[in-house]
Amino acid sequence: MKTFRRDIWEEGEYTYAAAYGFMPNVRAFLHEEDDTARDAMLVVPGGGYCMLAAHEGEPVAKAFYEQGMNVFVLTYTTDITFSVPLKKQPLKDIARAIRYLRAHGEEFCIAGKKLAICGFSAGGHVCGSVTVHWNDVEETNPAYADYSARPDASLLCYPVITAGEYTHGSSMDALLGPNPSEEELRYFSLEKNVTKDTPPTFLWQTATDMLVPVENSYLFAEACRKNGVPFAHYVFPSGFHGLGVGKGFGYPGWTDGSYVMEQVNLAVAAVKAGKGVNVPERRVEELRAQFPDKQEAPEPPKDDAPAFEFKIDETLSEDVGLWTELARVWFARL
């Protein structure tokens, strides 16, 4: 396996005020045994637009890598301080990431093949945003301007979809701030922006999701149906929010995926040093409590232990754990 990181913005292009030195990037997981062109998957972790969940990144990449795809994990802009509304920056990040991958298609062995995106929770909202607004994001860099930001397919996993009745409030607070306009609320209520040009979409969620109401995926699926967009929609009877691949995993040779927390770590350090951007004192104290300076060092893993492991109720893997295979079959038919 060939693994590396690439920043997706060039110097002077990325101007988000609360970046604290962070640069959005993709981490590649490529097959290297030959030069065969393969379908690509861009994985987009969730985290409420304030951080990124590591278990929704690399473990998902592993699942699609094992299906024969070349896979990338996107680390996009978030705001742990809730002080600088993100607005369209995450949408710009994923649009650039899609164009970047296509521009480097020969190098990444994905040229001429399908490129799908797969997002979880708030990462599902990022993916859903480019799914419906792919033609809105202007590209000013001539190196990428000739490449489309439209994914060939979107996989939305327990996604935040709406800014309306069934929204996930804190995600929208980080994205739009405390006083969004009606225009912004409509723009980021993705179900209201589906058209016949929306890419084919695969959705899944659990009926018992207590964090992002299951109505979110229903709203998008119904909008796809009404607009003639090919879609699949799976609602599993039970399971909590944030299931990721839907089954326990652990494997040697892979990292813990903590690199997706880069911006959070930079932001917290800046806030503690008194260099936060518009961060109120109350939030400063919350971050100090949430990220204490002294933490007990974790016990080092044994030599034969997996680098990262996340366990869930194994009975959930009997149905929810099948979603990556269901997605493979669906994607192959497109």
pLDDT at 314: 72
Tally of CB atoms within 10 A around 111: 14
Say whether pTM exceeds 0.85: yes
Q: Distance between CA atoms of 174 and 87, rounded to whole angstroms?
A: 9
pLDDT at 251: 46
Q: Which of 264, 263, 246, 260 is nearest to 320 (CA)?
A: 246
Q: N- to C-terminal Cα distance for the chain?
A: 27
* Phi, psi angle pair for 41, to nearest 5°: -130, 130
Q: How far is CA 23 from the centre of its chain?
A: 16
pLDDT at 35: 86
pLDDT at 239: 92
Q: Which fold has domain 2-295+308-332?
A: Rossmann fold (3.40.50)
Identify residue 166 by its one-letter amino acid code.
Y
pLDDT in tens, the chain (334 residues): 999 999 999 999 999 999 999 999 999 999 987 789 999 999 999 999 999 999 999 999 999 999 999 999 999 999 999 999 999 999 999 999 999 999 999 999 999 999 999 999 999 999 999 999 999 999 999 999 999 999 999 999 999 999 999 999 999 999 999 999 999 999 999 999 999 999 999 999 999 999 999 999 999 999 999 999 999 999 999 999 999 998 765 444 556 788 999 999 999 999 999 999 999 999 999 999 999 997 655 565 555 555 555 556 678 889 999 999 999 999 999 9
Sequence spans of domains, the chain: 2-295+308-332
Q: Distance between CA atoms of 205 and 250, rounded to whole angstroms?
A: 23
| DSSP string computed for 195-239 | -TTSPPEEEEEETT-SSS-THHHHHHHHHHHHHT--EEEEEESS-
pLDDT at 252: 47
pLDDT at 205: 97
The CA-based dihedral angle spanning residues 36, 37, 38, 43, taken in that order and rounded to the nearest 10 degrees: 120
Cα angle for residues 323, 44, 288 (degrees, 5° grid):
120
Contact, 299 vs 45, CB < 8 A?
no
Cα dihedral sign, 81-86-91-97 = negative
